Amino acid sequence: MTQVKPIGEDDLLLVVDVQNDFCPGGRLAVPRGDEVVPLINRLAEKFRHVVLTQDWHPPSTPHFEKDGGIWPVHCVADTWGAELHPDLAAPSDVARIRKGTNGEDGYSGFTMRDPVTGQTVATGLEPLLRDAGIERVAVCGLATDYCVKATALDAARLGFDTAVLSDAIAAVDLQPEDGARALKEMHDGGVTMWRAVMR
């Protein structure tokens, strides 16, 4: 396990897309995705700053298979599937970043790419973190090989000291070993790997 400095005032826990549709019973379930929830709840108690991201798609988007994309319909705004997992301990006033709201891919909590024009637009996450004086970001949630990876790589690119909590994430593995490849890509992109279990 990598030795890291204790969690401090300038650290943030970034919880990515722990939503019903990405957990067992959802439309795009990550295998054992719900198993990250108790650990994330324990972790959140140790951080002063916590932000949640949510996929929040319109009913039709080039992101979906029915509209030319690769994914089944999931996390449509204001539906059960887009809601946070019911066991996730999320106070009503915790900051939330909703992404993919206008048909963008919504993989990263920081940026979204329009699948038609290819243009990248920023979410409100970076200014939120800058205003709070955040220096280090610890990323957890779903799914390792898509939204966790994209969010962590963007955080590192933007200059945040970035770690992924490797036991508080889970992969879709659309192709075998996608999760393992994502971990390597994040490591190569300057992201540190932590284990979330704190003894």
C-beta of residue 30 within 8 angstroms of C-beta of residue 143: yes
Q: pLDDT tens across 85-112, in order?
A: 999 998 888 999 999 998 888 999 999 8
Name 182's Cβ contacts closer than 8 Å, sequence gap at least 6.
Answer: 144, 145, 146, 148, 149, 171
pLDDT by residue for the chain (199 residues), tens digit each? Answer: 455 678 888 999 999 999 999 999 999 999 999 999 999 999 999 999 999 999 999 999 998 999 999 999 999 999 999 999 999 998 888 999 999 998 888 999 999 887 778 888 899 999 999 999 999 999 999 999 999 999 999 999 999 999 999 999 999 999 999 999 999 999 999 999 998 765 3
Q: Is the distance from CB of 26 to CB of 76 less than 8 angstroms?
A: no
What amino acid positions are annotated as catalytic residues?
Answer: 17, 99, 147
Domains and CATH numbers, the chain: 11-194 (3.40.50.850)
In this prediction the pTM is 0.94
Residue 139: name the closest of 109, 111, 159 by CA: 109
Give the count of beta carbons closer than 10 Å to the beta carbon of residue 98: 18
